[in-house]
Structure 1
Amino acid sequence: MMHPPPVVKTDLETGPTPALYPNMPESPDLRWSFIRKVYSIVTIQLLLTVAVAAFVVSYHPIVTFLTTTKGGLACYILIIITPFITLFPLYCFHQRHPVNYLLLGIFTVSLAFAVGLSCAFTSGKVILEAAILTAVVVLSLTLFTFWAAKRGYDFNFLGPFLFSALMMLIVFGLIQIFFPLGKISHMIYGCLAALIFSGYIVYDTYNLIKNYDYDDYIWAAVALYLDIINLFLALLNIFDGADGC
């Protein structure tokens, strides 16, 4: 199917800015500015996550305290549930500055601690493999989504399918907690999670290009950040299972 050429807005100083998708009704400059802001926030979140996770992995007394003492176990549970608790007020206040940045910082640091605890029980080789593959997948899917959106492809249809798949993944994860099925089931869970969150990267990037309001930069950053972190953890699960076989 042929699509009409994208609308191009012209700026006398910087020249024409290409539209992100056909018949774009808004200013490409404003949308590009929004996209750069979101990716800047996500980059800071990822750098903070790497720093916190590296500290948790390298400073062994933290893991020892959290896994061998009663007080540590309570702290461990608190660290795990804090990101989920923070998400609700973050959603409610994601357009209210500076509360949104404060809540985003709490959310990111607590999730980074959880990521660090997951990495603490994994070999450095597996972590490196998962990190490299995550970077390649995220970059590839992001470039593909921008390319596809410019040619008029619509990814809104992915929303209901991805949500259903995510619900099934959560139920599968709960079953694993109460009825563990071994390394093979962990690898299957990781493969399914990797596919689902790869789909979410495409879906949320498309929303970033076309659907998010300019004031939703915090929530857009949270969505992409969660996609990337969950993809990394899924790949970590896969490689860890394969390494142990």
Structure 2
Amino acid sequence: MGKHGGGLDVDVEKGGAACMYMIETPELRWAFIRKVYAIVALQLLATIAVAATVYLVPDIRAFFLARTPASLAAFVLILVATILVMIPMMCLRNRHPINLILLGLFTICMSFSVGLGCLSRKGVIIIEAATLTFVVVLSLTIYTFWAAKRSHDFSFLGPFLFAACLILMLFSLIQMLMPMGKVGTTVYGCVSALVFSGFIIYDTDNLIKRHAYDEYVTAAISLYLDIINIFMAILSALSDC
């Protein structure tokens, strides 16, 4: 018997996978899903605004492209700030409203990082990467909701995706120590895009089935980072084609 909410129909009694949302009312689960997607949408809008400012404002662009000691220090500061904000954000992810404040600060730091990553790319490449990211994320999200309606479960992807991330980290380290040129960068970008596409399915499945209602920050940051990583991976692959 199907259960309805938010215009979509997800069958929660069919199949063998145990899902947390089976003990919730459909309205509560769909309210949670809408809340998470609203947060992710605001994060992406903030990222677009900040990254566009870094890319389009001549003074900011010139400052970072100059590669002076001051600009390099600012670049390192942004990276360190992202990590320093992420740690307490994850520790306090269920404490409102500090979790939202830290989430906002983390989003701003990540947005600056995305803007800096776009500085050396052409505008047309950035638009192409953003368009491809939108299509991929939307398609995989629709597919995952469709699959959840038919009681498909994607929790098995967790160990494989974790192993894939370790491999990507090792490959990235090798690239820094022994650069493999454009071919290596393109391959890395394509493989990264595939891995984080898998994370979109995995994290969306968790959003539908496993996250508790007070874990909206955890769910939002997972999806947000998946989208950002897909965009940066596609951007890297297109830039070196």
Judge same fold: TM > 0.5, yes or no: yes
Matches within 5 A, 1:44-83: 44-66=42-64, 67-83=66-82
Distance in 2 separating the partners of 1:213 and 1:107: 22
Structure 2 spans left out of the alignment, 5+ residues? 15-21
Deviation at 1:17, TM superposition (A): 7.8
Moved over 6 A (4+): none
Give yes or no for the alignment of 1:42 onto 2:40.
Answer: yes
- Alignment TM-score, normalising by the size of structure 2: 0.92
Q: Secondary structure at the match of 1:152?
A: coil
- Please identify, of 188-197 and 72-81, the stretch whose mean Cα deviation from structure 2 is larger: 72-81
Matches within 5 A, 1:36-185: 36-66=34-64, 67-185=66-184
- Please identify, of 21-30 and 121-130, the stretch whose mean Cα deviation from structure 2 is larger: 21-30
On the 8 A contact 1:190/1:234 being kept in 2, the answer is yes
1:150-170 alpha-carbon deviations (Å, 9 max, x no partner): 101010000000000001101
On the 8 A contact 1:79/1:114 being kept in 2, the answer is yes
What letter matches 2:111 in structure 1? Answer: A
Distance in 1 separating the partners of 2:84 and 2:177: 23
Deviation at 1:9, TM superposition (A): 6.5
Matches within 5 A, 1:27-38: 27-38=25-36
Distance in 1 separating the partners of 2:153 and 2:93: 26
Deviation at 1:25, TM superposition (A): 3.3
What letter matches 2:151 in structure 1? Answer: G
On the 8 A contact 1:56/1:62 being kept in 2, the answer is yes
On the 8 A contact 2:4/2:26 being kept in 1, the answer is yes
1:15-46 alpha-carbon deviations (Å, 9 max, x no partner): x9844533533211100000000000000000
On the 8 A contact 1:194/1:235 being kept in 2, the answer is yes
On the 8 A contact 2:10/2:148 being kept in 1, the answer is no
Q: Pairwise CA RMSD of aligned residues?
A: 1.8
- Matched residue, 1:193: 192
Deviation at 1:63, TM superposition (A): 3.3
Distance in 1 separating the partners of 2:8 and 2:228: 32
- Matched residue, 2:17: none
- Please identify, of 66-75 and 148-157, the stretch whose mean Cα deviation from structure 2 is larger: 66-75
Aligned-pair identity (%): 50
Q: Secondary structure at the match of 1:68?
A: coil
Deviation at 1:177, TM superposition (A): 1.3
1:213-235 alpha-carbon deviations (Å, 9 max, x no partner): 00000110000000000000000
* 1:21 aligns with one of 12, 16, 27: 12
Structure 1 spans left out of the alignment, 5+ residues? none
Distance in 2 separating the partners of 1:238 and 1:72: 26
Distance in 1 separating the partners of 2:140 and 2:87: 28
What letter matches 1:58 in structure 2? Answer: L
What letter matches 2:184 in structure 1? Answer: S
- Alignment TM-score, normalising by the size of structure 1: 0.90
Distance in 2 separating the partners of 1:141 and 1:123: 27
Residues 43 and 168 (structure 1), Cα distance of their counterparts in 2 relative to 1, 3 Å cut: same
